[in-house]
Amino acid sequence: MAFKASEQDLMAYLYGELEGKEKEMVEQYLLENADARLELEKLKQLRHALGHIKDKEVIAPPIFIGDSRPPFIWNAPYFKTIASIAASLLLIMLVGRLAGLQIGYAGSELRISFGKPAQQREVVDVRPAESLTTGDVQQMINASLQQNNIAMQETWAETQKKLDASIVKNLASNSVKIDNLVKESSAASQQQIRDFVSSIQAENVQVVKSYFQLSSTEQKQYIESLLVDFAKYLQQQRNDDLQVVQTQLNSLQKNTDSFKQETEQILTSIISTVGSNNSLGTKY
Amino acid sequence: MTETLLDIAMMHSDNLIARAKDGDQNAQGKVVQLWYKRIYNFSFKFFLDHDLAMEVSQKTFISMCKNLPSLQDNARFKSWLYKIAVNYCREEARKKKGNRSLSFDMVWNREAEDSPQWESSGHRIDSPERQLQHQELSDVLQEALLEINDEQREVVIMKEYEGLKFREIAEVLNISENTVKSRMYYGLDGLRKVLERKNINKETIGYGI
């Protein structure tokens, strides 16, 4: 089977990474295959061109790396935590010592105090001197209640009287005042009504008077103009009638004249005819 | 590959790595000095951005110093270091993509895809020859690198500029060697197409064998 160089073989050959038998096989393939030779040539030319890219010069900046050594025991986080708790406790103890802190637990009592413990104060035992019986208490309550009731009733009666008296007094004074007020108001109103009515009457009279005056003059004027108009109308009517009579008379006159003429003509014609006839007759 | 033989010898000095692993800060500083330029240039080619490259490099070395004790095989230091760098590059790329707001046209318009913004911001009306008068070939190639996808770009940079073997790249990326070679092939193919589109060929840049 003929060997055919793959893309991978060509690449390995191009970069000189083929050795021994493989290299020989590819070289043999290239000898026999012009296309592959051309391809390889092109790739070499491209590599040559790519060689024009030069490296850029650069200076390595300092690279800072943290301490990579294994941490000591006091750098371990758990150690730090424990140490800080211990330090806080120590501080609290010191402060307690300086402030004279006293903590005690006795019986069911937790006692925290500063300074020296104070002297226990004496507790005064307060006890009732003598006990009373229920009956005594009841009696006392009843007695005081009775006293109270009596006092209350007295005060109620007094206040009742006072209230009545004041009410009566108030009523009397108020009624008098109200009567006066009513009288005043009634008197005042009668007077006012009279004045009002009289003023209204006067105004009415005035109004009616002026109205009548106005209306009478207007009526007069109106009637006068009416009469004048009527007279004018009558005059006009007469004139018209006269004209009509005149024209009729004229026409009658004309008619009479024409009738007269006609009659005359007829008469003349008759006369003439009669005359001629007579002449004819005579002739005959 | 401008390192002196001494540098290279130092890089591979298991002794230095071993001392750095034991927490010798001098040795760690020396390792940073030796590898900083490589990691910076790798990241710079990946992003074409100085600030991002610096950020990735610093993060990479901080992480290196912290995690060096967990490195099992000192001989694999190189691929281990690049693995850290690649991870930070991917992280930054994700952030960058998240922050960048693309317009609908830029994403879907074929024309916009063919001429990304960096190109249109330049002398677009000029011919490629004129462009080359103003712009270093290196820049054009760098920009071409940005146009291939991230996975292929990682491989191309590590192989072409960092000189890692395919086996080492496979170790860095945690993929098979064949996948690495495939990505390399398609990466180079993509680059060739980008350069052809830009009318950059043997004649325009005067390269050839």
Residue type, A97: R
Q: Which of residues 72-131 of B touch A (CB under 8 A)?
A: none
Q: Is the dihedral of CA B170, B173, B174, B180 positive or negative?
A: negative
Based on the fold, state whether residues B96 and B117 are members of the same structural domain: no
> Residues A26-46: pLDDT tens digits?
999 999 999 999 999 999 999
Residues of chain B above pLDDT 70, percent: 72
Domain membership of residue B106 (yes or no) is no
Going by pLDDT thresholds of 50, 70 and 90, the confidence category of residue A129 is low
Which structural domain, as residue segments, surrounds residue B12?
1-101
Percent of chain B at pLDDT > 90 equals 43
Per-residue pLDDT, B121 = 45
Q: What is the CATH number of the domain that holds B144?
A: 1.10.10.10
CA-based nearest distance B103→chain A, Å: 31
> Which has more pLDDT, A133 or B136?
A133
Distance between A103 CA and the closest CA of chain B, angstroms: 54
Residue A63 has its nearest CB partner, among B62, B142, B209, at B62
Could you tell me the two tokens for A185?
């108001």
Chain A touched by B37 (CB under 8 Å): yes
Q: In this structure, are B208 and B120 located in the same domain?
A: yes
Domain boundary among B50, B75, B101: B101
CA–CA separation, B160 and B46 (whole Å): 13
Distance CA A211, CA A253 (A): 61
Which of A53, A54, A56 to mutate to probe the B interface, most B CBs <10 Å?
A: A53
User: Does residue B107 form part of some domain?
Assistant: no
Instruction: Say if B185 falls within a structural domain.
Output: yes
Flag whether pLDDT at B122 surpasses 90: no
Q: Which of B50, B72, B101 is the last residue of a domain?
A: B101
Name the domain boundary from B59, B78, B101: B101
Supply the pLDDT for residue B28: 86
- Residue A122 — pLDDT band, cuts 50, 70, 90? low
Residues across chain B: 209
- Distance from the B181 Cα atom to the nearest Cα atom in chain A, whole angstroms: 5
pLDDT at A14 exceeding the cut of 50 = yes
Q: Domain boundaries in chain A? A: 7-49
CATH number for the domain spanning B46: value is 1.10.1740.10
Reported as a single tens digit per residue, the pLDDT across A48-65 is 888 888 888 888 888 776
Q: Identify whether residues B126 and B205 lie together within a single domain.
A: yes
- For the ranges B118-122, B136-140, B189-193, the maximum mean pLDDT occurs at B189-193
Question: Which of B23, B184, B200 lies closest to A11 in CB terms?
Answer: B184
pLDDT 10s digits, B166-204? 999 999 999 999 999 999 999 999 999 998 888 777 666
Q: Across the interface, do B32 and A63 touch by the CB < 8 Å criterion?
A: yes
Q: Give the B window 166-205 contacts with A, CB below 8 Å.
A: 166, 177-178, 181-182, 184-186, 188, 191-192, 195, 200, 202, 205
Residue B80 has pLDDT above 50, yes or no: yes
Q: ipTM of this model?
A: 0.75
Give how far the C-alpha of residue A135 lies from the chain's centroid of Cα atoms, to the nearest Å: 76
Nearest chain B Cα distance for residue A76, angstroms: 19
Q: Verify that B155 and B129 share a domain, yes or no.
A: yes
pLDDT digits (tens, 9 = 90+) for B64-75: 988 888 888 888
Across A25-34, A100-109, A188-197, B4-13, the highest mean pLDDT is recorded for A25-34
Whether B116 shows a pLDDT value over 50: the answer reads: no
A125 has pLDDT over 70: no
For the cut 50, the answer to whether the pLDDT of residue B30 exceeds it is: yes
User: A99 CA to chain B: closest CA distance, Å?
Assistant: 52
Query: Are B96 and B118 part of one and the same domain?
Result: no
- pLDDT above 70: residue A231: yes
Cα angle A184-A187-A191, degrees, rounded to a multiple of 5: 135
Give the least confident one: B39-48, B137-146, B151-160.
Answer: B137-146
Specify if B132 maps to a domain: yes
Cβ distance A68 to B65 less than 8 Å, yes or no, reads yes
Distance from CA of B207 to the nearest CA of A (A): 7
Q: Which residues of B touch A41 (CB under 8 A)?
A: 209
| Residues in chain B closer than 8 A to A17 (CB atoms) | 165-166
Spatial distance between the Cα atoms of B197 and B194, rounded to a whole number of angstroms: 5
| Of A8, A49, A61, Cβ closest to residue B182 | A8
Together in a domain, B142 and B54: no
- Residue B124 tokens read as 């677009």
User: Across-strand partners of A112?
Assistant: A103
Q: Is residue A185 predicted with pLDDT exceeding 60? A: yes
Which residues of chain B have a CB within 8 Å of the CB of A8? 177-178, 181-182, 185
Average pLDDT for B125-129: 56
CB contact under 8 A, B181 and A11: yes
- Would an 8 Å CB–CB cutoff place B23 in contact with chain A? yes
Question: What φ, ψ does residue A100 adopt, rounded to 5°?
Answer: 65, 45
Residues in chain A closer than 8 A to B44 (CB atoms): 56
Please report the number of interchain residue pairs, chain A to chain B, with beta-carbon separation below 8 angstroms: 99
B138 interfaces chain A, CB cutoff of 8 Å: yes
At residue A126, the pLDDT reads 57
pLDDT, chain B, mean: 79
Q: What is the mean pLDDT of residues B108-123?
A: 46
Is residue A97 within 8 A of residue A109, CB to CB? The reply is no
Instruction: Please say if the pLDDT value at position A281 is more than 60.
Output: no
Instruction: Determine whether the interchain pair A68/B58 forms a contact, defined as Cβ–Cβ distance below 8 Å.
Output: no
Residue B66 CA, distance from chain mean position: 23
Taking 60 as the threshold, does the pLDDT of residue B123 lie above it?
no
What's the total number of domains in chain B?
2
pLDDT tops 50 at residue B105: no
pLDDT of B115 over the 50 cut: no
- The secondary structure of chain B as a DSSP string is ----HHHHHHHT-HHHHHHHHTT-HHHHHHHHHHHHHHHHHHHHHHHS-HHHHHHHHHHHHHHHHHHGGG---GGGHHHHHHHHHHHHHHHHHHHHHHH----HHHHH-HHHHHS-HHHHTS-TTS-HHHHHHHS-HHHHHHHHHHHS-HHHHHHHIIIIIT---HHHHHHHHTS-HHHHHHHHHHHHHHHHHHHHHTT--HHHHT---
Rounded to the nearest angstrom, the gap between the alpha carbon of residue B134 and the centroid of all alpha carbons in its chain is 25
Residue B130 has pLDDT above 60, yes or no: no
Selected for mutation to probe chain A from B44, B63, B135, B185 (highest A CB count within 10 Å) is B185
**A61 vs B58, B160, B184: nearest CB:** B58
- Closest residue in chain B to residue A55, using alpha carbons only: B41
Q: According to the model, what pLDDT value does residue A103 have?
A: 80
* CA A164 – CA A140 distance, rounded (Å): 36
- Nearest chain B CA: its distance from A22 CA (Å): 15
